[in-house]
Amino acid sequence: MNLFKKRKKNYPDFWMEYEAKFEKKASYTIPEIRFVVFDTETTGFDYDDDRVLSIGALSIKNNSIQISDSFEAFLYQHFYHAKNIEIHGILQEERQERITELEALIQFLEYIGNSVLVAHHAGFDKNMINHALNRHGMPNLKNKFLDTSVLYKRTLINSPLLPVKPQYSLDELAEKFDISKKDRHTALGDAYITAIAFMKIVQKLKTKKNFSAKKLLK
Amino acid sequence: MKNTISARVADFLKNYPPFNEVATKELESLSEEVSIVYKVKGEVIFTIDEEAHQYFYVVHKGAVVLTKEPNDEVVDLCDEGDIFGLRPLIANENYKIGAKAYEETILYAIPITDFKPVIKKYGAVGTFLIESFASNTRNPYSKSYRGKLYDATSPTEGNQINDKELLDLQGVPYSKKLITCSENTTIKTIASKMTEKKVGSVLVVNDKLPVGIITDKDLRNKIATGLFPITTRAKNIMSSPVITYPKKMTVTQAQMAMMKSNISHLCLTLDGTPNTEAVGIISKHDIMFELGNNPAVLIKAIKRANGFKKLKAVRRRIMSLLQGYLDQNIPLTLTSKIISELNDACIKQIIKIALNKMDAPPPVKFAWLAMGSQGRSEQLLHTDQDNALVFENVPDDQLTETREFFLDLAKIVTKGLFDIGYEYCPAEMMASNPDWCLSLSEWKERTLHWITNPGPDQVLLSSIFFDYNLSYGETSLVNDLSAHLFETTDKYPNFFLHLASGALQSPSPSGFFRSFLVEEDGEYKDFFDLKRRALMPLIDGARVLILSHKVKLINNTAERFEKLAELEPNNEELFLACSYATKALLKFRTKHGLLHNDSGRFIALTKLTKEEKIKLKRCFKTIKDLQELLKIRFKVTNLLG
């Protein structure tokens, strides 16, 4: 019943275009997949009350990041938490041009297409974007998602001597993989750290037995 | 579009030629077109005769090795900031040399179409490129301190001779940071300055012109002998006039000049005469370092290194020294002693640098322990780091704070070790882990627990920890801990039974028909695991036997067997054979590791010669005999059943 309803609903053109990109089912090998690594900076951690302040995203194909194919948007939001502005330093980017939430979503959907999305603690960023989409009357993102914090755990050796933590922060990954933390807490800076970590993680996973694109995306 | 990442790229590029010549704005827009490429160690970037890419490359992190036919001869190693793969794009030809990631590497790929306008606009960029193509060096500006000439090597001759020829023609490195004083400076001030800057000579200048030089030798001959008081002025004891040379000198020229005048320091001036400004000093040490991989020179270079990057360069030389020793068949005992000594010096220097970086001195005494292969002085190649830290006991209320300090210190040290080539331990057995950074009494408690509850994990932990060796710090802490260990094992002899059964757990190296057993799956399928199947049984066996004899301070496996042969004359033959096998296997591993730029742990059997296989198999027989002895002595059979 619900499904039926959804289909009948009239979505705007940009959503239909985005959705159309998923119609073709392609079989992939890892070098052919376009991964979009993204990060959001938000006013807080509540999906309903808090808002996205900026989105940064990079694309990876065949272990290569093309800077010209990157995405950075600063959103115009009425809703602010002073303490978050401190963390993210959004104020330092005051001069950045800001766009509306809807405009940012339209651009973001066009940018990501049917790529595989990658984020650190992906659940949070995914929910933030989905709630924003829902507020504007759209359904959830259709892309496949990968979470670097989950993938990282798969690279750890299975040893009684190494207790596996339930959570690994982006800072921990940056230290492990020797990635500069200079642009930490800007959306694109965090996306970059995540992207480098992601490539290194995939490399580590490749050395494990029976690794395949299918297994990665499962 | 300009964003955080392109700005970061531009920020990096502007530090290196020829990009330092380009205006910020243009560099920023060039950076927007860059691709950031990740390459795994050993991954090919391009091969000889491959059609040129649309990009040339700048190394952002890691290192890239350039090779030439035949035999993949190494022509150059590119470090951070170096450019490669540009020439074919300008000359419109295919690649003449191959490029491969020497380490895990991140490259900036810059599209040639966006770069060409930059070349046209900036004369200096063009000049740089022309010079670099003409001289065939990667970076003509750096010729003075590294320049390796691409085409000077002829493929018919042996590599080593070539290297020396190259060095002779090479520009000499000189210290640009001059340590100077005036004619009226007192000797006491000069001596303190020399000590502080760790130099062997001071240039006496008058209005920037060199008028004299004072070296360590002058201080010895003229001051220490009482000829002059330490309050005397520089002009009274300096050697004058100064022998000066132009700054463009080759290593050979500098050497000749020193021999001719029997001096150990050359002063370089703008035009080579004493009438122009002094620009640098060349010491005998600089030349020695350039000429050779001589342990004494390397040790000095390590002690002078004030940053991790410099140490990394020295470590590469240590590796080529190791290669040379193996090529010349120098006995492994000697080789591993020298290399371990050098590795040890590197670690000490890293800890010193790290201590300097800390805001405060250590609150209490501490000792940095090397564990595993490093502790046994068997680490010839870059392998994982295993280390631990022990600090003096402190009152309970200060424990957290004290540990915090040492954890911070350990983080800097492990990062430094990582930077110079030691991978992080995948099981986090490092002093930066709170579990491996304990006070003396905490360590005692922890080891007591291992010894009294010898489950498989505890045996594994003890086998890694018990080979510890002091790298840096307070000896008494380590002695205290060792004494405690022997006392405890004495009370719980059962522990040896478990340690011995642990030593017998390693899988057998050969099957029923004396064929090699290879790995069945994973990354190293069909490879022979030299470490686990051949070296570990020997290492573990030596450890349990030597501990049961309560012998302190011998960590090296081969040396342990030699000691055992001495202690048990009736088993002398077996133990000596074990010692020999350990050395043979270690050498084997090192050779393979150097050949493939890895840890040498996994061996492709198909690549071995018949002779090598026979040698290996001979070692297996010894391993089997040793395992029999362990079984009987510690009565392990019933445990295994």
Q: Do B31 and A65 touch (CB under 8 A)?
A: no
Judge contact between B544 and B582, C-beta under 8 A: no
Judge contact between B32 and B56, C-beta under 8 A: no
What single-letter DSSP state applies at residue A73?
A: E
Alpha-carbon gap, residue B169 to B175, rounded angstroms = 19
Between strands B201-206 and B64-68, the pairing is: unpaired
Alpha-carbon gap, residue A91 to A77, rounded angstroms = 13
Judge contact between B388 and B468, C-beta under 8 A: yes
pLDDT at A134 over 90: yes
Q: Do B8 and A182 touch (CB under 8 A)?
A: yes
B246: cis peptide before it, omega within 30°?
Answer: no
Return the pLDDT at B147.
Answer: 33
* Comparison of pLDDT for A4 and B366, the residue scoring more: B366
Q: Rounded to 5, what percent of chain A is helix, strand, coil? A: 45, 20, 40
Per-residue pLDDT of B415-462, as tens digits, reads 999 988 888 888 888 999 999 999 999 999 999 999 888 888 888 888
Per-residue pLDDT of A21-51, as tens digits, reads 888 776 678 888 899 999 999 888 888 888 8
Considering only CB atoms, which chain A residues are within 8 Å of B9?
Answer: 67
B429 vs A: CB within 8 A: yes
A182 vs B: CB within 8 A: yes
pLDDT at B201 over 60: yes
Alpha-carbon gap, residue B107 to B129, rounded angstroms = 20
Amino acid code (one letter) for A124: F
Which of B350, B367, B370, B354 lies closest to B302, judged by CA?
B350
Which of A181, A195, A190 lies closest to A146, judged by CA?
A195
Return the pLDDT at B255.
Answer: 73
Query: Which residue in A has a C-alpha nearest to residue B104's C-alpha?
Result: A200
Considering only CB atoms, which chain A residues are within 8 Å of B44?
Answer: none
Return the pLDDT at A90.
Answer: 53
Alpha-carbon gap, residue B280 to B262, rounded angstroms = 19
DSSP string covering B385-451: --EEEEE----HHHHHHHHHHHHHHHHHHHHHHHHTTPBPPTT--STTSGGGEEEHHHHHHHHHHHH
Considering only CB atoms, which chain A residues are within 8 Å of B461?
Answer: 161
pLDDT at A85 over 80: no
What is the average per-residue pLDDT within B66-94? 83
Per-residue pLDDT of B8-24, as tens digits, reads 899 899 988 889 888 88
Return the pLDDT at A126.
Answer: 94
Amino acid code (one letter) for A145: F
Judge contact between A117 and A143, C-beta under 8 A: yes
Q: Do A162 and B427 touch (CB under 8 A)?
A: yes
Per-residue pLDDT of B414-427, as tens digits, reads 999 998 888 888 88
Return the pLDDT at A83.
Answer: 53
Alpha-carbon gap, residue B280 to B176, rounded angstroms = 5
What single-letter DSSP state applies at residue B474?
A: -
Q: Do A161 and B460 touch (CB under 8 A)?
A: yes
The answer to whether the predicted template modeling score (pTM) of the entire model surpasses 0.90 is no
Judge contact between B263 and B243, C-beta under 8 A: yes
Cβ neighbors of B201 (< 8 A, separation 6 or more) are B179, B194, B213, B214, B215, B216, B264, B265, B281, B283
Per cent of chain B over pLDDT 90 is 25
Which of B338, B429, B364 lies closest to A162, judged by CA?
B429
Which residue from B31, B61, B461 is facing A67, i.e. has the nearest CB? B31
| Alpha-carbon distance A39 to nearest alpha carbon in chain B (angstroms) | 13
pLDDT at B167 over 80: no
| Alpha-carbon distance B426 to nearest alpha carbon in chain A (angstroms) | 7
Query: Which residue in A has a C-alpha nearest to residue B521's C-alpha?
Result: A209
What is the average per-residue pLDDT within B372-377? 83
Return the pLDDT at B640.
Answer: 46
Alpha-carbon gap, residue B366 to A72, rounded angstroms = 48
Judge contact between B370 and B471, C-beta under 8 A: yes
Q: Do A65 and B35 touch (CB under 8 A)?
A: yes
Q: From the CA atom positions of chain B, what is the Rg in Å?
A: 29
Considering only CB atoms, which chain B residues are within 8 Å of A189?
Answer: 4-5
Return the pLDDT at B142.
Answer: 40
Adjacency order of strands within the sheet including B201-206 = B180-181, B201-206, B209-215
Instruction: Identify any residues that bridge with B109 across adjacent strands, giving them in sequence order.
Output: B35, B57
* Comparison of pLDDT for B248 and B171, the residue scoring more: B248
Distances from the Cα of B460 to the Cαs of B25, B147, B372, B408, B503, in angstroms?
58, 48, 11, 27, 10
pLDDT at B266 over 90: no
Judge contact between B406 and B391, C-beta under 8 A: yes
Judge contact between B246 and B269, C-beta under 8 A: yes
Q: Phi-psi region for residue A167, left (φ > 0), alpha (ψ -120 to 50) or beta?
A: beta
Considering only CB atoms, which chain B residues are within 8 Å of A209?
Answer: 521-523
Alpha-carbon gap, residue A217 to B450, rounded angstroms = 42
Could you say which residues from 77 to 106 on chain A have a Cβ atom under 8 Å away from some Cβ of chain B?
Answer: none
pLDDT at B153 over 70: no
Distances from the Cα of B612 to the Cαs of B327, B588, B619, in angstroms?
16, 9, 11
Question: Which of the four pLDDT bands, split at 50, 70 and 90, describes residue A127?
Answer: very high
Cβ neighbors of B38 (< 8 A, separation 6 or more) are A63, A64, A196, A199, A200, A203, B105, B106, B107
pLDDT at B581 over 70: yes
Considering only CB atoms, which chain A residues are within 8 Å of B312?
Answer: none
Return the pLDDT at B641.
Answer: 38
Mutation target among B30, B36, B461, B525 for the A interface, most CBs of A within 10 A: B36
Q: Do A68 and B32 touch (CB under 8 A)?
A: yes
- If DSSP codes are grouped into helix, strand and coil, which group holds residue B51? coil
Instruction: Could you list the beta-strand ranges (E) of B105-190.
Output: 105-111, 180-181
Distances from the Cα of B500 to the Cαs of A75, B456, B531, B538, B581, in angstroms?
65, 11, 18, 11, 19
Q: Do A183 and B4 touch (CB under 8 A)?
A: yes
B37 vs A: CB within 8 A: yes
Angle at alpha carbon of residue B76, lines to B71 and B80, rounded to 5°: 140
The CB density around residue B568, as the number of other CB atoms within 10 Å, is: 14
Residues A44-49: contacts with CB under 8 Å, at least 24 apart: A44/A81, A44/A84, A45/A124, A47/A127, A47/A128, A47/A131, A48/A131, A49/A79
Place of tokens 């890895």: B598
Q: Do A72 and B4 touch (CB under 8 A)?
A: yes
Alpha-carbon gap, residue B364 to A89, rounded angstroms = 39
pLDDT at B186 over 50: yes
What is the average per-residue pLDDT within A179-207? 89
Considering only CB atoms, which chain A residues are within 8 Å of B407?
Answer: none
B564 HSE (CA, 13 A, CB side): 27
B33 vs A: CB within 8 A: yes
Alpha-carbon gap, residue B492 to B639, rounded angstroms = 17
Instruction: Identify any residues that bridge with B56 across adjacent strands, giving them in sequence order.
Output: B110
What is the average per-residue pLDDT within A71-82? 74
Cβ neighbors of B287 (< 8 A, separation 6 or more) are B172, B251, B254, B255, B258
Mutation target among B4, B453, B524, B599 for the A interface, most CBs of A within 10 A: B4
Between strands A98-99 and A64-75, the pairing is: parallel
Judge contact between A209 and B519, C-beta under 8 A: no
Q: Do B3 and A207 touch (CB under 8 A)?
A: no
pLDDT at B146 over 50: no
Distances from the Cα of B59 to the Cαs of A200, A214, B5, B44, B425, in angstroms?
17, 32, 16, 14, 26
Q: Do B523 and A208 touch (CB under 8 A)?
A: yes
Per-residue pLDDT of B23-54, as tens digits, reads 888 899 999 999 999 998 889 999 988 998 99
Judge contact between B410 and B448, C-beta under 8 A: no
